[in-house]
């Protein structure tokens, strides 16, 4: 199941949300307007969000879900969360891709009809 970890999910999103992993608004806007780098953003996100959380607890709560964010660019705090879990728990969190064989098999097994 998808779980939004972003500040602003798309209009009409009525799925699950996990606010504890949402970035701070100030850092979100700072990276959007180019006033901080990706490295600075990651440092802020780790210090102000992830340092307050227990990686095992977060993993246990979310391990059966897909972390969702709707970034247009290739950089997203999902990647930071994935690295944080791997660094702390040794568990690889892979990026979901519709073309992945595992995903295709799940879709086939559960008879899921993709929207695209």
Residue 116 lies in a domain: no
Whole-model pTM above 0.85?
no
3: β partners: 16, 67
Cα–Cα nearest to 6, from 35, 27, 36, 37: 27
Confidence of residue 14 (pLDDT cuts 50, 70, 90): confident
Task: Please state the rounded mean pLDDT for residues 71-77.
Answer: 73
8 A C-beta contact, residue 4 and residue 68: yes
Tokens 């930071």 belong to residue:
80
Domain encompassing residue 79: 2-109
Instruction: Say whether pLDDT at 89 is over 90.
Output: yes
Number of folded domains that form the chain: 1
């Amino acid at each position: 199941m998808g779980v939004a970890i972003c500040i602003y999910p798309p209009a009409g999103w009525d799925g699950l949300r996990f606010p504890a992993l949402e970035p701070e608004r100030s850092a979100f806007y700072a990276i959007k307007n180019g006033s901080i780098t990706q490295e600075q953003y990651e440092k802020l996100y780790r210090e102000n969000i992830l340092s307050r959380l227990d990686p095992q607890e977060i993993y246990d709560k979310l391990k059966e879900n897909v972390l969702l964010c709707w970034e247009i660019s290739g950089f997203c705090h999902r990647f930071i969360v994935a690295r944080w879990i791997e660094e702390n728990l040794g568990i690889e969190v892979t990026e979901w891709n519709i073309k992945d064989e595992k995903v295709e098999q799940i879709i086939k097994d559960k008879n899921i009809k993709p929207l695209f």
